[in-house]
Amino acid sequence: MAYDLESSVQMKLYTITKRQFLFVFAGFFLAFGITVLVGTAGPNIVRTTKPIKFNEQIPNTSEALKEASFTIESPMVSRFNQQLWLTSQIQLKNPTKSHVEIPFSVHISVQGQSNEESLLITGNTTNRSRTLSCFSTNCSEFIVLHLSYLDFPKYLITVDFNELGAMDYPLTQVQFTFMSFNPMFTQLEIWFRFVFLVITFVVICVFAHAMKKFPIRDWSIEQKWMAILLPLLLLYNDPIFPLTFLVDSWIPGLFDGLFQSLFLSVLLLFWLCVYHGIRQCERRITTFYIPKMILVFLLWTSMFSISSLQAYNELDDPSYSYKVDLQGYYGLKIFFFIIGGIYLLYLLFLIIRAYTELRSLPYFDLRLKFLTALMLVVLIISIAIVIMRFGNRILDDNIIYALSTNYNNSAEFVALYGLLNFFLHHGLCLQSIEERRS
């Protein structure tokens, strides 16, 4: 079998000592640790208002409780709040103290208010069926509505819980809570994105200047992929993110999600192509790239569909919930896990084949060890963060579009965001060319 020796372009990885190799990884963990510490000292991601309560003891609320019709005014918000959630928790009289499931429907009217105008965003035609799950007298909290884009500084919301006012279990208290992104966290997010954007741009310039001396055919497969991943990392850091707060449109947010999903998909494709391509020179588009692109495209399609399904529907109906179309949602979720499982098995097969064939060859074993070490660091840290965030809810129905209320601070966001940036920046340190001195 012919292997890609790439003798024209020597990587720094070929000449560094073990001490220098350890210094590179120490630099990675040091930069990552500093980033996490900054995030730990940062603000909470979600800002929660004081609950608004309706019960029989509070004047002027008992009538609303009997009719199960409530009018709530939101706190003042700005675009730095990014999004707005309204949640509700209900208490009722349950003499049996047993677990009950109560079907009911929710009618919502949302009116945006400002000094200049007042606009009815959605009327009473917004009607969603829900199921109230209650243990003894307390019922589980649920999201009444979610505004993914804030056009107004204040909102007047009317909520009607049909059937609850006349059911066998009378309401004793209804509590509403508003949640939104903390403006201080939004500022932190803008600065972190900007810093990583500048660093990535500098890295691209240095990489392009160093590699322009050599024809592309002499580049290693890792260097060729770096030329693809670095511009996509620039998009992942989203140079147009500030437009989210400057223009009256949801389109910048759409592009932000598109850029992130595109980068993650190409990163998955990179791992497949590198572990397969490192042990062969001939890489035809039809037999080498197309099958891998189809697999990653299916994974991206299912992931993007699940994550964007609720966001898309909420543009027209803030009360939309994934539970409205459980059958379609479960279908996408099963498809996502099947394709994800196939991807992991295929990647594991390619890694085993690469180590079996190349571990005894000089230079190739170094490249494999370095690639695998960086990949494992990224995967282990990512999985650890996800498990710490969601715990045993990792397989919940709405885990892909969960409300981010489990963050105590910004550390988890900063860790996940900085991890991929440091992964490429430090990977490039050893995969860049080795300057030859005459």
Beta strands in 76-208 (DSSP E): 84-92, 99-113, 118-135, 138-139, 142-147, 154-162, 171-181
Q: According to the model, what pLDDT value does residue 409 have?
A: 66
Tokens of 229: 């991943």
Q: According to the model, what pLDDT value does residue 400 have?
A: 42
DSSP 348-409: HHHHHHHHHHHTTSTTHHHHHHHHHHHHHHHHHHHHHHHHHHHGGGTT-TTGGG--S---SS
Torsion of CA 179, 45, 238, 315, to 10 degrees: -10
Q: Evaluate the CA torsion angle 89, 93, 97, 101 in order and state its sign.
A: negative
Q: According to the model, what pLDDT value does residue 407 have?
A: 52
Strands 171-181 and 84-92: antiparallel
Q: According to the model, what pLDDT value does residue 163 have?
A: 67
Residue 82 · residue 75 · CB < 8 Å: no
Mean pLDDT by 10 residues, the chain (438 residues): 50 74 84 87 85 71 67 89 88 75 82 74 62 80 84 87 67 87 89 92 88 80 88 92 83 83 90 83 82 91 74 72 65 84 92 80 74 84 70 47 50 84 82 56
Q: According to the model, what pLDDT value does residue 60 have?
A: 57
| C-alpha–C-alpha distance, residues 85 and 87, integer Å | 6
Residue 426 · residue 374 · CB < 8 Å: yes
Q: According to the model, what pLDDT value does residue 397 have?
A: 45
